[in-house]
Structure 1
Amino acid sequence: MGDPAGIGPEIVVRALLERPDLRGQVVVAGDEATLRRAADVVRPQCGGAPLDVVVLGGPGEWAHASRQGLALIQTCAPGALVQWGRISAEAGRAAADSIAAAARWVLTGQARALVTAPVHKESLAVAGLPHPGHTEFLQALAAEHAGVPVSEMPVRMMLSAPGLATVLVSIHMSLRQALEAVTTERVMDTIRITAAHYRRCGMPDVRIAVAGLNPHAGEGGLFGREEIEILQPAVDRARADGLKVSGPHAPDTVFMRARQGEFDVVVAMYHDQGLIPVKLLGLEHGVNTTLGLPMVRTSPDHGTAFDLAGTGRASAASLLEAVDAAIEMSRLSPS
């Protein structure tokens, strides 16, 4: 359900009101009172259409999920409703508990895919979660399930919108740290993880473009030598492995070239380099996919939108894109 103080519960309700075909397929991990409150504010915005919250006892009761309502499993301790639009430890704990429960259902084969609604990183932090976001939290949960160190469960964030997909070498860290994280091994791992994802999805010959780090991809070393000393060796090694990889390309044009059809996906060096182009195409169509996990996980490409929380007006478009993507990926890549 995401952060109960944000729009997550509301867009979950709206998604099931707008797409009745998903009822019976989707089970929500969250809090009953929070989802009922969300339904109370969203239903009037959707013509008053009925949507009951049906509480199940656990994954063993999924077969009883009604196509007439929102099937819910209570995954956090019931308590007082948190205030909309406010950071709090209570909200962070509720969100984290829901993520952990839902992830374990998928990791143990009780569900086919995980779709996460937005969380607020500050609420997770004040709740004591030692992970800055969904991606890192899910990485830790998957590593624990597999019985391996987190270092042996490398994951990457992929953001996609119609016509453009990008995978990030680094995720949630300062820009200074992100620059230091650009190493040949890390870029090579990103390329491999990206290629493996597309191979599982039926695209063994995916065309991967590697974005440069510096203006004009360094201009032959005039504006930095990272392209020569770090990125080019990664590209060369990937090609030697038989992957269709090109670059490093000038970062100010590579995303445009990908959208025009020259590449299938762009490997970006850091968070904002890759996310700004995707979000510019429209948050309502963006999907976040975690690559490298032993399960399918997607989410909408937007945050908790505290300013909209409680109004019932938040769009479920990106969440629905994420649900549809998760369903399709789980069919193509059931593992």
Structure 2
Amino acid sequence: MTVERAIIAIPMGDAAGIGPEITVRSLAKQEFYNICKPLVIGDAAVLRKAIEVTGVDLKVSTVDSPAAGAYVFGTIDVIDLANIDLTTWEPGKVQAQCGQASFEYVAHAVELAMAGEVAALATTPINKESLKAAKVPYIGHTEMLEDLGNTPDPLTMFQVHSLRIFFLTRHVSVKEAISQMTKERVHDYLIRCDKALQRLGIENRKLAVAGLNPHSGEGGLFGREEMDEIAPGIEAAKLDGIDAYGPVPADSVFFQALNGKYDAVLSLYHDQGHIAAKMTDFHRTVSITNGLPFLRTSVDHGTAFDIAWKNIASSVSMEECIKLAAQYAPKFTRESL
């Protein structure tokens, strides 16, 4: 039985960064046209320049809609917003026009996803300073998607190989993160994590919660957070039917999940989960934003202005980003607003 290839929208990212390069490098490989229909949302002239710089053997075809794409290897289908002035464009530098354009690529891709015209977004890097220069009222993708997708507090998941990691807290100090580790929050996040995995098509879901203290506190010898907050939150989730385990000492839980004991781990703070993912495979770590009405995967790196447009940027993370979007898209359960 042949599975219909899903249309994956790829917003081109900041035109001064490595987004255009890693996009054309990825789409210069036949395998991506075997697993999906990649559609770039960007600037056709910039893409042609990226093809010239990287030396890949590709052509660019502009289309008006996802349905109009041919999706044949050797030609990149692009919805051309034509919003970069190459006479003033400078590679590797913060520019307002690039910030504004990168927002427009994402906004258009979201519009297509909300209309069901594309199955998923696989996003390339955008730049906070460029967005600020353009007076775009967002600091990054998450904030854009939260607003454009009408989704408060979207849930981030990292995936690298078979390891999936959710995050209980985000960009806050460790001290503040610990204050947020309440039983109510652990309970709520386990329910949300389970739902996110279900929407990705994962059955019989087993979720582990990482411990905070050495040996998960060793019965209170090394701290009471596990006893007072984390374990009660896990027990409350179990009463709601969540197959949850822990707290499992953080020095072993990620290894166990990578090897199949758990389907995902709830990391308690930013670096706890980031270190585990990036030490597993830095270049193949992909971010998935859960809770949106549509599927979104993303590279886990920035615009890399220092190496942009020098034909040295690796496309590995972008390739993994597209692969995961193609893998989950046929199973993904869409939610309406």
TM-score bracket for this pair, using the shorter chain length:
0.7 to 0.9
Q: How much does 1:175 deviate?
A: 4.1
Seen in structure 2, the aligned counterparts of structure 1 residues 167 and 21 have a Cα distance that, compared at 3 Å, is closer
Match of 2:328 in 1: 329
> Where do 5+ consecutive residues of structure 2 fail to align?
1-11
| CA–CA distance in structure 2, aligned partners of residues 173 and 241 of structure 1 | 29
Q: How much does 1:306 deviate?
A: 2.3
> Where do 5+ consecutive residues of structure 1 fail to align?
144-149
Give the letter for the 2:95 counterpart: S
Secondary structure at 1:102 match in 2: helix
- Does the Cα contact within 8 Å between 2:200 and 2:333 map onto a contact in 1? no
Match of 2:6 in 1: none
Seen in structure 2, the aligned counterparts of structure 1 residues 174 and 35 have a Cα distance that, compared at 3 Å, is farther
Match of 2:33 in 1: 22
For residues 142-187 of structure 1, the C-alpha deviation after alignment (integer angstroms, 9 at most, x for no partner) is: 11xxxxxx5xx44211111113211112233444443443333332
Q: How much does 1:21 deviate?
A: 4.8
Seen in structure 2, the aligned counterparts of structure 1 residues 14 and 165 have a Cα distance that, compared at 3 Å, is same
The equivalent position to 1:62 in structure 2, one of 65, 68, 72, is: 68
Does 182-191 or 115-124 show the bigger shift? Answer: 182-191
Q: How much does 1:308 deviate?
A: 2.2
- Does the Cα contact within 8 Å between 2:84 and 2:98 map onto a contact in 1? no
Secondary structure at 1:29 match in 2: strand
Match of 1:9 in 2: 20
Q: How much does 1:42 deviate?
A: 1.0
Seen in structure 2, the aligned counterparts of structure 1 residues 172 and 93 have a Cα distance that, compared at 3 Å, is farther
The alignment status of 1:79 with 2:85, answered yes or no, reads: yes
Match of 1:259 in 2: 258
Seen in structure 2, the aligned counterparts of structure 1 residues 258 and 65 have a Cα distance that, compared at 3 Å, is closer
Secondary structure at 1:87 match in 2: coil
- Does the Cα contact within 8 Å between 1:156 and 1:170 map onto a contact in 2? no
Does 83-92 or 95-104 show the bigger shift? Answer: 83-92
Q: Calculate the aligned-residue CA RMSD, in Å.
A: 2.3
Structure 2 counterparts to residues 185-224 of structure 1, below 5 A: 185-224=184-223
Q: TM-score normalised to the size of structure 1?
A: 0.87
| CA–CA distance in structure 1, aligned partners of residues 30 and 306 of structure 2 | 25
Secondary structure at 2:329 match in 1: helix
Structure 2 counterparts to residues 207-246 of structure 1, below 5 A: 207-246=206-245
- Does the Cα contact within 8 Å between 1:27 and 1:62 map onto a contact in 2? no
- Does the Cα contact within 8 Å between 1:116 and 1:299 map onto a contact in 2? yes
| CA–CA distance in structure 2, aligned partners of residues 129 and 218 of structure 1 | 45
- Does the Cα contact within 8 Å between 1:132 and 1:172 map onto a contact in 2? no
Match of 1:291 in 2: 290
| CA–CA distance in structure 1, aligned partners of residues 263 and 39 of structure 2 | 32
Seen in structure 2, the aligned counterparts of structure 1 residues 122 and 175 have a Cα distance that, compared at 3 Å, is farther
Match of 2:53 in 1: 41
- Does the Cα contact within 8 Å between 1:6 and 1:84 map onto a contact in 2? yes
Structure 2 counterparts to residues 264-279 of structure 1, below 5 A: 264-279=263-278
- Does the Cα contact within 8 Å between 1:268 and 1:274 map onto a contact in 2? yes
Match of 2:3 in 1: none
Match of 1:111 in 2: 118
| CA–CA distance in structure 1, aligned partners of residues 159 and 101 of structure 2 | 28
- Does the Cα contact within 8 Å between 2:14 and 2:125 map onto a contact in 1? yes
The equivalent position to 2:102 in structure 1, one of 95, 99, 121, is: 95
The equivalent position to 2:144 in structure 1, one of 116, 137, 144, is: 137
**Identical amino acids, percent of aligned pairs:** 37
Give structure 1 regions of 4+ aligned residues with deviation exceeding 6 angstroms: none
Give the letter for the 1:19 counterpart: Q
Q: How much does 1:67 deviate?
A: 4.4
